[in-house]
Amino acid sequence: MDRQLIIETMVTHMTLEEKVGLMVHRAKGVSRFGIPDYNWWNEALHGVANNGEATVFPQAIGLAATFDDQLLYRIAEAISIEARAKFHAVGKEQAERFHRGLTFWAPNINIFRDPRWGRGQETYGEDPYLTSRMGTAYVRGLQGNDPYYLRAAACAKHFAVHSGPEGLRHTFDAQVSQKDLEETYLPAFKALVDAGVESVMGAYNRVNGEPACGSSYLLQHKLRGQWQFKGHVVSDCWAICDFHKNHKVTQDILESLALALKTGCDLNCGDAYYYLAEAVQKGYISEADIDRSVTRLLMTLDKLGLIHDDGPYQGIDLQQVNWEAHHSLALEAAEKSIVLLKNNGILPLNKEKLSYIYVTGPNATNIDALLGNYAGVSSNLQTILEAVVKEAGPEITVTYKKGCPLAEKRINPNDWASGVTKYADVTIAVVGRDISLEGEEGDAILSSTYGDFEDLDLSDEQLTYLQRLKESGKPLVVVLMGGAPICSPRLHELADAILMAWYPGQAGGTAVANILFGKKSPSGKLPVTFPKSVRQLPEFDNYAMQGRTYRYMDEEPLYPFGFGLSYTNMELVHGECRWSSAAQDELALSVQIKNTSIRDGEEVVQLYMHWADAPFVVPRWSLVEFIRLPLAAGEVKTIEFVLPLEHLRCIDPDGQAVLPTGRILFYAGFNSPISQSTVLGSQEGITMQIQRDKK
C-alpha cells in the first residue's frame, strides 16, 4: 500500500489534540499508531552536536575552503552514520531527549554577503555556485541514497535572504530586488530542493515586507509552487512569535500562527503552535490546514523508519562506526581547509635547521578556537601548541606563553612574552578570534555587537603584541583562527607567513602542524573575499549586492575570493573553448595544468564567466565550475569542463533568467579575477572568449 496513503489515512483517525501535539519541535507521539515522542531539534553542522562523543569536523566555512564537494559528501555520510548509531544506542523511546534525533537543522546555505556577519562561519561562503555544490553534497551524504528511506534528514536554512545584522534579525525587513533574489539569495535553496532536501527552515527576518516564516511569496510561490518542494517547513525558533511581537504584521499569536500555517510552515520550533486548537475553534484556520502539515511531518518520520521500524538503516549501531576512519577524515578536511595567505619562504619549517621554536598567542591552547559554533565534542581534540610540540620532537626546544588576550585588555608595556622571540629561531603566533567574540546572537558572550563585527582587523591588543614580537628581527609565522575574514594590511606587512586555519575541528592542531612543517602542502582557497577594511563595504543592513563580494566589488581586496598559496608551483599552460555542437547548447572548455615544482601537491582550478555584451548589469565574474585535483611533481593534466548553455544564464533586472548572446568571457585560474583589465593581462590564469549567435 502507498506509504503516503497510509499516513493520510492515519491522520484522518487522529484527534485534533493528537495532531497539534505533533506540530511543535518537542512533539508528543501517538502511541496507538506507533508514533513516538520526538524532538525535531537536532544539530549537525560539522558533526553531530550536543549528543556526546562525536567526530568534530572543521566549521562549515572551513569545509567550503576545501573546494571539495566529494570530501564534504564523505563527511556528511560519516556524520549520519554516527547519528544513526547513537540514535539506535539509546532507542527511539529516548528520541524526545534534546538533540538525540535524526532530523538535523543543517546545512546553513545563506550567502555570506557581508564579512561582518558573525554567523558567516556557518555558511559555505559568499558564492551561490560554491554554496550550491557544497550544500547538495552535504544533503546527499547525510540523507543517503535510498529512493525512499533517509539515513538522517537534512534541512536547508535560513529561507531566505538572511545574513545579519544579528542584533536586528527579529525586526529587520530585508528589502531586496528580484535580480538579487534570483541571482544571489535563492539559487542554493533551489539546488538543495532539487537534490531532495527533506526540510527547509524559514528565517527570522522579513523579506520585502513579509515575515520569512509566513511569506506567501517564498513558501507558496517559490518553494511549493515553482520548485515543487514536497518535504516539510520548520520555523526558526520562536520566529512565529516575532510576527506580532517584533515585526508587527499581526495582532496576536493566533493571527501569527494562522499566517505561518496557511503559507506552509508545518512545524513550529517554539510554542506558538500550542494554540492551534484554539485557532481552529475561533475560525482562524481549518483542521484541513493542520492535516496537510501533519501528513508532511509524519512522512518524514516514516522515511526515517520511526513509525514502521523499517528501512535499510535500522541495523547501524556503534560497533559499525569506524571512528579511526572518521578521525582521519577530520584530519584530511582540516588540512585541505587551511589557506596560506602569505609566505616569504619561511614555510615549510625545516626541523634540521631549528633548535628553538616559540609558540605564543591566545589561540595556541584555545579549545574554543578549534570548535566554532554548533559544534559537538570529541575526546581527540588537540591544540596547536600540543601538535607543534609533538611534531617538533624532543630534540627541538619549544616554549609557550599566551602573550596577549583576544581582546578587551590592555597589554603590559613591560610584558616578558614578546621578549622570548630573541632566543627563538622562529615564532609561531596563534591569534584571531573565537566563538566568544563571533557567532550567533546570545552565544558570543564577549561581543557587544551580538556576535557581528564593526571592524574586520585583528584587535589592537593582538596587533600590538605581534609588532613587539617582530621587533626581534626573527621570523614570525602567524596562524589566524576564526570564522570570518580577518582583514589586516598591517599584519600582511608584518608577518613572514600567514595561515588562515578557520575553526578547524578536532584535528585542527595536527593539521596546522602538518602544514607548518611541510608534511602537507597547503591547498585551501578562500570561500569569501577579504577586503582591506570595512571602508570598502556598503552599509551592513543594505541587502543590495552592488559593491559586495567578488562578483560586484569595485575595489581591490586584500585577498580575493578563491585565493590560496601553496608550497608547490602550479601553472596553467593552455586553454581552449568551443561549442560542442552546431546548436550551441553546450560548451567544452579545456585547460592544461602543470606542476613545475619538485614536490607533489593539490590545486583547485576555478572557472569564471563574464557576459561581455550583456544589455543589463551582470556580475563582473561568476564562478561556474571548479575542480580540486592532485598533481605529482612535474605532472601535467588536462581538465575539461562541460557547461550546458543553461548553466550560463544571467539574471535581468526583473529576475528573469536570460541566455547570453554575443561575447562570453571565461577565466580559468587559481583565484577569482580581481578585475577584467588585470585578468586579460594576467600570466597566472587563462582567459578564453567565445561568441554565441542570436537565435
CB proximity list for 25: less than 8 A, separation 6 or greater: 39, 40, 41, 234, 237, 267, 268, 269, 270
Dist. CA 564–CA 581, nearest whole Å = 36
Dist. CA 306–CA 332, nearest whole Å = 34
Dist. CA 126–CA 529, nearest whole Å = 8
The CA-CA-CA angle for residues 42, 43, 44, to 5°, reads 130
Q: Are 569 and 562 in contact (CB under 8 A)?
A: no
Q: Are 649 and 629 in contact (CB under 8 A)?
A: no
Q: What string of DSSP letters covers 135-193?
A: HHHHHHHHH-S-SS--SSB-EEEEESS----GGGTTT-EE---HHHIIIIISHHHHHHH
Q: How many CB atoms sit inside 10 A of residue 540's CB?
A: 20
Dist. CA 379–CA 300, nearest whole Å = 33
Give the DSSP letter of residue 320. G
Q: Which of 438, 441, 452, 496 is catalytic?
A: 438
Q: Which of 236, 335, 441, 603 is catalytic?
A: 236
Q: Are 80 and 63 in contact (CB under 8 A)?
A: no
Angle between the 128-143 and 187-194 helix axes, to the nearest 10 degrees?
30
The CA–CA distances, whole Å, from 51 to 87, 177, 319, 440 equal: 10, 41, 17, 20
Is there a catalytic annotation at residue 454? no
648 conformational bin, left if phi > 0, alpha if psi -120 to 50, beta if neither:
alpha
The one-letter code for the residue type at 404 is C
Burial class (CB in 10 A: 0-12, 13-18, 19+), 283: exposed
Is there a catalytic annotation at residue 457? no
CA 572 to chain CA centroid, nearest Å: 29
Q: Report the Cα–Cα distance between both ends of the chain, in Å, rounded.
A: 50
Residues classed as catalytic: 236, 438
